[in-house]
Structure 1
């Protein structure tokens, strides 16, 4: 047993802590101010190697486990310990949570949540909750009926539903505590992203960028569900919520009034900028970080007249007020569908001769950005996949140096744009290992032909304005569609890569055992050496993997690794819903690419949690 695991086992074995979620509600109860209790609780849980209390493990979104029982020497003995069917057959993104001796499992639509008692062998189901929601939500989902997970805080589980509800459940019983209507399904507003608890609030975004939805983040009181604030991605400054010193260190990134001035007329009201990705939080700076999606529609001629701020933007906001301290738009006047919603991983890095508080972000546009997470200053920006729509990032104004021939125009098919609208990376979250100082990223090796077309806004109907054909990277020259890479965030380059037959749509997990775990769309779950990328172990699962693995310590003081199996998401949608081969543009180009890569011949729909352990 490794040192971290041993320490955890001794603490439990001596009876100092009970393996239930409720003990953490009581620790320090009297000493912590009411408004900070949820924050302190999650800080404590996030630093406990045996727990996995947030989708990203901790506020910094590192997806790193300090457990080391499963390591480069023992991984060959890893085997399936048990599995659990979720009862759903669409894309299983995100991962389960482990708090105390309870595991919280979620599914895509119908968004069922299960609480499993890990102290029982085999596990027992403590409770099951399936929300009442509108079936029409299935037709309003942009790219599959996914859910990226639930959140935990102050004895509650928080669930976002596909029809736009945010629901608080009693973590012990599964009973509803409160629920609010975050989105209006008749307008195409859904929730696919995971909520996050910060202090005494739960934060949640909105999905539906391809339906003319106006992006925003909402904050609700954790105990009552009463709204605290709402911060929009575009519109008047009073809607966006800007601090008085907004972007003061980087005025070149934009300022007051640009949420409307950079749009033609009132197009900002249909402006997209949805917030379906991941959140992170720095308690010392008291800033939470996230990204906003592409503008609506995809036809840039319908948005001509400015940068369309603040779509495709990274944000640093105050959780207490929702006000933005800084914002940085990566892809001004986007014409390729390059969302900016991927996670910001908060790590401290030596930049020059100074240790800086950084945020690292792998964007759909193909560039990896290292920012100062307190000010939004761009410290480094280099491609992490093959990019040909831009020559680089101008370090004078931090704007992309575009290749004019790759900018799209209505009625003209622009060929060979790399990366595709699926991005150099899509929803699949990266992980950071503090031992190797590397980040591990599942990437898409995809290019596209894209033609903007006229888009007419009808509430609740697709508002896209583009046709796509997708194919493999380097303008179709490659025979592989994805890579799993190790990235040096200081040097801005790859340390190693593994070519994969399909886009790597799963998240990554790094561990103190010197391992990195990830999954493939055809269902292989793999462990590789964190320093070299050498494959050390793999197991074929029943369906493709688009979820994010986790590691936790069971009540038996043994380390386990868990992951969802269930193909879906954008690239996997043709398999999940059995789309015919006839139209390569179906599912926004996914149909043609999936069949060209032979994904439908390589996996089938499924929905299962699989847990691995040692002998």
Structure 2
């Protein structure tokens, strides 16, 4: 360093510049591996920890260190944060926020609960879940079911400011975790099954003042698309790229909700996220004026947006004219991959539709698009020839297209089901192996569209679904796979009895942790998927394992509390197989293995 003072100064300047383009407090806490400072582990969304005290050689010795009851039944998605000596967590509705003192036997430092109208539960699509809080600059940021965005004092739980993002009476709710970037709190909205026009909004971290909002569809000024500068597969989007792909004013109730995890690149100053299904699920009602398929941009889309302005840098639609409810909200993961002999800064995404996508994160160039679910049959492949006018589009198999079958007719044998080959539960990228570890579902469906009329605050679904195991699943309707993102290939696959509705955590100890719907926390070897540890928690796991260090000891923690879409039958007491859009019937056996709960289980070495 002393020989190269110029390089040292440049490195320091670049480090400061990068931090200044993020949130320096968040960056500082993320850099300390003792913390779990962001729901996704870091801005990359990789869910990878450099802690290695627990490793593949000793993980089999893990014991329960402590447990904590949340006091709430229903699905516990997301997970806690740890900043220093304090753990922060939030429950499903009624969204009780708590701070626990890790240095004093997990004493509850404070509790906060916003008084919400319980009628909001009726307009929450797939259980009354919440995917976590966020910490920044001494504040805890909370997005509650009724769309209130709240900043709390992290030390006292005192409310600092509160804004209302939308109105549940219109069908709008909030289930996603906020993300703090620079001086902004960024949140999305749920409600695609109620005709809510989805959006993402940036609020000022210190005041709650709304800075910008980008809708998922509509005029360019609403979607924050620059016709000349926003790229779509390397070309300018063009004027009104969304409006041209909707029939009349259907875009006003177009869906495209935003409720998944997000990622951020400080160097490019871009935030990445996916949009959900168009409304209604009935594709016949969304057809063009000539009764032909029409894309309905920008539902089912991966967006890259400038954080300061909200303007889209690029956009890519995974499932044009969606006919299967293949929500595109699944998390983006930023990684550096060698593709075709070149080092590329990429963003990868495992979509509900069964395809894994990798883009250049600066330009949106499509680098890889391959099936990570071998049963996927709604499309044969994605066109990768840049000279083909259909470049980047799926080749749809008409046999499995409900639009082709028609209204009030059933299309059978579609794979995957609307649950997706992977749903919202986040995958992980391990810097140790360079592989992605992906929780998967192996379910197919029959799909029958029916006519539905829009009414404010009423369900706007328009399809009946029946779900069942995929033909090749042998009744193992879920699993964990290791995926080579550069080659677009599965390295290994570990089957599970039910869909893996838990997120994945990888560590420098060579382990991948995940949970099962029966309630097991499992640890496997990242190299080959060999099971090294399992423990049955009190209820099914739909939360995301996380890890932290306290007083020199590494801990692994996970919520248990069955629910979410896969567990909605148990969570809501539903018995009709068609309820939960077919999930009740698809997971009928789950009641034989687990029941409702709401707890945090924390593990450590003896």
Establish whether TM, by shorter chain, passes 0.5: yes
Which residue of structure 2 lines up, in the alignment, with residue 10 of structure 1? Answer: none
Deviations 1:555-594 (A, max 9, x none): x1100000000000001010112212xx321110011111
Contact 1:183 1:191 in 2 (8 A): no
Corresponding position of 1:221? 204
Gaps of 5+ in 1: 1-27
Match of 2:388 in 1: none
Q: Does the 8 A contact of 2:302 with 2:316 survive in 1? A: yes
Q: 2:26 aligns with which of 21, 26, 42?
A: 42
Matching residue of 1:169? 152
Q: Which residue pairs with 1:520 in the alignment?
A: 516
Q: Structure 2 unaligned segments of length 5 or more: list them.
A: 1-11, 289-293, 386-390
Residue 255 (structure 1) shift: 3.5
Are the structure 2 counterparts of residues 248 and 590 from structure 1 closer, same or farther at C-alpha, using a change threshold of 3 Å?
closer
For residues 309-328 of structure 1, what are the structure 2 equivalents within 5 Å? 309-328=297-316
Any conservation in 2 of the 1:245–1:325 contact (CA below 8 Å)?
Answer: no
Distance 1:467 1:362 in 2: 25
Q: Find out whether 1:355 has 2:343 as its counterpart.
A: yes
Aligned twin of 2:527 = 531
1:339 CA displacement: 0.6
| Cα 1:514/1:32, change in 2 over 3 Å | closer
Please show how residues 448-467 of structure 1 align to structure 2 within 5 Å: 448-467=445-464
Q: Indicate if the aligned counterparts of 2:22 and 2:266 stay in contact, CA closer than 8 A.
A: no
SS in 2 for 1:136: helix
Distance (whole Å) between structure 1 residues aligned to residue 128 and residue 280 of structure 2: 21
Partners of 1:87 and 1:214 in 2: CA distance: 34
Q: Summarize the alignment of residues 394-473 of structure 1 with structure 2, pairs less than 5 Å apart.
A: 394-396=383-385, 397-408=391-402, 409-473=406-470
What's 1:575 paired with? 570
Deviations 1:382-416 (A, max 9, x none): 00012101000011310000101111132210000
Structure 1 residue 491 displacement after superposition: 1.1
Alpha-carbon offset, residue 473 of structure 1: 0.9
> Matched residue of 1:570: which SS?
coil
Q: In structure 2, do the counterparts of structure 1 residues 257 and 390 end up closer, same or farther at CA, with 3 Å as the change threshold?
A: same
In 2 relative to 1, CA 37–390 (structure 1 residues): closer, same or farther, beyond 3 Å?
closer
Provide the TM-score with structure 1 as the length reference: 0.92
Report deviation, 1:249.
Answer: 6.8
Name the counterpart of 1:393.
382
Q: Give, in angstroms, the shift of residue 353 of structure 1.
A: 2.0
Matched, 1:566 2:555: no
- After superposition, give the CA deviation of every residue in 1:123-177 in whole Å (9 maximum; x if it has no partner): 2111011111111111110000000111111111111111111111111110001
Q: 2: CA distance between counterparts of 1:561 and 1:480?
A: 26
- Write the mapping of 1:166-565 to structure 2, written as runs, cut at 5 A: 166-243=149-226, 245-248=228-231, 250-251=233-234, 254-305=237-288, 306-385=294-373, 386-396=375-385, 397-408=391-402, 409-474=406-471, 478-554=474-550, 556-565=551-560
Deviation at 1:478, TM superposition (A): 2.9
CA contact (8 A) 2:21 2:267 kept: no
1:94-130 Cα distance to aligned partner (Å, 9 max, x none): 010011111001110000111011111x121110111
Q: Is the 8 A contact 2:67 2:599 kept in 1?
A: yes
Match of 1:150?
133
- Offset of 1:254 from its aligned partner? 4.3
